[in-house]
Structure 1
């Protein structure tokens, strides 16, 4: 083990020499002597049986083998730094302003209680919430975190699944008494469907899985809305058929104000609730703590499905 640690130290010294292009600068950066730096490089070359550096009185350059070896040494040095920084970050107390964005109705019904318990738990954190049904660009607008309900999180972001999101197609009993109950997804084409435009995936149609078969329908209706609360009230008033997640519909399905239809068809089968954030090298403690808190609060079996 001692020999391994000695070799690792020599590799780190070699990487620093390449980066500073100077034995003297390396010694200063590492808090050691120039002679020890030279000794470590010579020892490394002897152990490997190759020359890593071409050295003259005026200049120093990498050999071909030295250049290839440096790439590995530099990568190891970065991993060591990352490991140390990770420990520091994990030990750090979450603090500062956490800026996040969420769909309006989810924020109102479910995120607010989770935020309250989080703030009681972490007194050095403040939260700024933008409840908005549009897709907020968290890079351009400076947000730490975005709550998304989607089946395809952006590949440029890190996406953590917080909880599954189950969708139900339903309508008020008065509507179904007047227009009849659809028996298959295709029957929806003959009905008034209330289309939610807040999620891009739904603008192209409603999606179902029946057994192993996928069905997408360009449903029609006389109302398209980008606000989920408005659309919910219209469905409750018997204006048409709606397809929404159970985190919105649960209480209304339980009370009977809305009636579920198409029990054999799974709507939007791959949708989930995600916490998405930038793929920074080190996650800030406030972001990590909030995501962990959401997972404790909602997942893996969300309470809104208890109806």
Structure 2
């Protein structure tokens, strides 16, 4: 089997077009580079390069191998870069956008903590539900929920937040607790309008797969904070991602009515413009946010 370091060396030879340049780059002799490429050719049983006194020509097999070898090389570079900044002082400014459904609780706390841990950092965090244009609006980082369609952006998956159906004890005390999802048709269901699936279409897990239940209610909003406050006030039953109300569930201010029956999950992603590598400060901020989420994943 070909060695990873030989593949990386081969990718360098193709890119530099010279054994001597690669030898100098890696503090090796020309003969060592030549022997390692010859060993790679022997291991694979194909000729990768045609050598003349004037130039190197890549064979058809070499061109195919290079496509994979350059990915190995890039992965190795990125793996080293990913940890190179840890323990070092980071500074600078980050402009980020966060959806209200996840920003006003855990994310705000996580980002403020990051700035405290790195005194040279400042973060401008905007909370809104519109899909901002990262490049056009000058954002360095965006936290997004749901499906990402724009291929010009890089998305780092943080986690999936399970949706919950919850209500305040005061509401249950007045109007009773629904025992089955179908009982919700007789309750006031608070609706979150900022959903692609529809505010009144609540998804459940059934024996034959997931199914949709159509509910009714007297209050609908596209603001997650407003929806949470209405639920806390005892005005109805809400259908929201658990990350929005996890503090309330832990404190008993809201009750999870169907913990094993709700079929919807919300993907949470850190998104940044397509570049070869995100800056160290962006990388560290994403990792900090991700670790904060994962530390509480049992609630999500």
Give yes or no for TM over 0.5: yes
CA shift at 1:102, angstroms?
A: 1.5
Aligned with residue 97 of structure 1, among 88, 93, 97: 93
SS in 2 for 1:200: coil
Who is 2:65 aligned against?
A: 72
List aligned pairs for 1:282-297, cutoff 5 A. Answer: 282-297=277-292
| Cα distance in structure 1, aligned partners of 2:253 and 2:116 | 35
Structure 1: give runs of 5+ residues left out of the alignment: 18-22
TM-score by length of 1: 0.68
CA shift at 1:132, angstroms?
A: 0.9
TM-score by length of 2: 0.69
Between stretches 92-101 and 168-177, larger displacement belongs to 168-177
List aligned pairs for 1:10-159, cutoff 5 A. Answer: 12-13=12-13, 15-17=15-17, 66-73=59-66, 76=69, 79-80=72-73, 83-84=76-77, 86-88=79-81, 90-92=83-85, 93=88, 94-104=90-100, 106-150=102-146, 152-154=147-149, 156=151, 157-159=154-156
Q: Contact between 1:209 and 1:215, CA under 8 Å: does it hold in 2?
A: yes
Who is 2:158 aligned against?
A: 161
1:242 aligns with 2:235: no
Cα deviation 1:271-290 (Å, max 9, x = unaligned) = 35443445543232222211
CA RMSD of the aligned region, Å? Answer: 4.5
Cα deviation 1:173-229 (Å, max 9, x = unaligned) = 34762x544332222233332110223245361112246642212322233210122
List aligned pairs for 1:248-263, cutoff 5 A. Answer: 248-250=244-246, 252-253=248-249, 258-261=254-257, 263=258
Aligned with residue 271 of structure 1, among 253, 256, 266: 266
CA shift at 1:166, angstroms?
A: 5.0
Cα deviation 1:238-282 (Å, max 9, x = unaligned) = 433212234443454566654543x36532443354434455432
Structure 2: give runs of 5+ residues left out of the alignment: none
SS in 1 for 2:114: helix
Between stretches 123-132 and 267-276, larger displacement belongs to 267-276
| Cα distance in structure 2, aligned partners of 1:61 and 1:193 | 71
Q: Contact between 1:252 and 1:258, CA under 8 Å: does it hold in 2?
A: yes
Who is 1:20 aligned against?
A: none
1:173 aligns with 2:170: yes
| Cα distance in structure 2, aligned partners of 1:10 and 1:227 | 54
**Greater Rg, structure 1 or structure 2?**
1
SS in 2 for 1:229: helix
